Amino acid sequence: MSNGLPQVIDLFSGCGGLSLGFQAAGFSILGGIDVDETAVDTAAYNLSWRFGFEGFHLCCDIRHVDGEVFSNIERTGPIVVVGGPPCQAYSLVGRAKLRSLGREREHTNDHRGYLFEDFIRFAEQLDADVVVMENVPESIDYGGLNVPEHIAECLNTIGYRAKWTILNAADYGVPQVRERVFVVAFRDNYDGNFCFPVPTHAPTFDLPSYVDRQVSRFHGLKYFVPPPEYPKDVVPWVTVEEALSDLPVLFSTAQSRYRFLKPSIRLPYKTSAKCEYQRLMRSWYGTKTTGVTGHCFRRNERDFRIFERMQEGDDYSDASVIADKLLAEAARAQGVSPLNSPAEFEELRKKIVPPYSRTKFLNKWKRLTRNQPSHTLTAHLGIDTYSHIHPWEPRGISVREAARLQSFPDEFLFLGSMNDAFRHIGNAVPPLLAKAIADQILVEIIRMERGYALHEQTS
């Protein structure tokens, strides 16, 4: 292209999943902004430092800066502004958490719900050629406001042609069912018709999508377009087993000795790569890796025995039944009962039975099913990993396994603590999904560049 590679500025960059996908598609990453220092360090290392250049990754509150912070960057190609404003105010889990903190913390009173305004402000100030925004599907109803529709309308009023849809990461080779809203906008001098990427993978079982469930609400919206249909030559979704089966064994039974492995420790693979997904995760940067780092998991001492007896797909209701059986077994073995020795029995209960509500906590425990993609990873992984229990080892997933389920390559390093890494991964845009969108945008940019060049030759 005559103007060089398209250049990306990532707002609300997190650890860099969205940028990583664009980088893999051939875009140049100029830098980004995020309020989380360890996330910024992780993005800076993996997107810039590892290639020998500094980049321009800033740790700051986007509300207190403007596009001038990037004024020293040399523009050598089309500017693409991307980002995923925080979703806590939109997501059902985030809304419930805020509500529990009091009426003044209702989700519609959370300033994070309006950070998309700063996203639009930056896009306009940077005179972006292309804009890409990601968020959770629940953003279609934020106190009655359809956020992606509103953003598309705002972008159109400042000189863009925008559209939005909902895409599932599993449809693009990510071993995880993760539906997300994407808004894409081109400058209004764009003379094409951008299409969202066609799926490369498809489910082998019936699973209604968010779009299917909400179709009546989307009818007649000006900027919404349905997600692309599955082509005939599509391959099956990547499964948890395909994502994880080559990784080192960490905890084979509930009686295994727990070892905390520092994130920097590299462990050799358990087997050679068994499928295309494993080969991709090992060779993302062009060289084959010999092992993995960040393969550490939490010490859930009380619950390892419960995990061991859970079947794939079991949730907290199943875990509760197992815990009661373990308590009964231990009580018989120790000769205690709630009638004859209530204090000793209660102490035993505390050591064995999780104290969580059996009516409210069901979906927060889940054992993965090996022959299906994972369910959605969230930032709550930074607090615990009960939502994603390993399918054949009695433990929560490791940092590296969470990264695999999000399609982060094995050479992508997560800085900070284990909690930081889990949170960053749960918040991220899966790089393979980001790459699918970036590939489509690049096709349109190249087409426009060629069109301009041809026009100049004939004029």
Catalytic residue positions, numbered: 87
Closest among 160, 2, 184, 185 to 77, alpha carbons compared: 2
| One-character DSSP codes across 248-277 | PP--SSTTSPP-PPPTT--EE-SSS--SHH
Q: Residue 183 pairs with which residues in a beta bridge?
A: 133, 164
Distances (CA, A) of 14 to 269, 369, 385, 413: 28, 28, 20, 14
At how many degrees (to 10) do helices 418-427 and 399-406 cross?
10
Cα atoms in the Cβ-side hemisphere of radius 13 Å centred on 148: 29
Q: Beta strands of 55-135 (E only): which ranges?
A: 56-59, 79-83, 130-135
Radius of gyration of the chain (CA): 24
- Provide the 10 A C-beta neighbour count for residue 103: 8
Distances (CA, A) of 64 to 35, 107, 118, 135, 149: 11, 22, 10, 22, 26
Distance CA 198, CA 184 (A): 15
Contact in structure between 421 and 44 (CB atoms under 8 Å): no
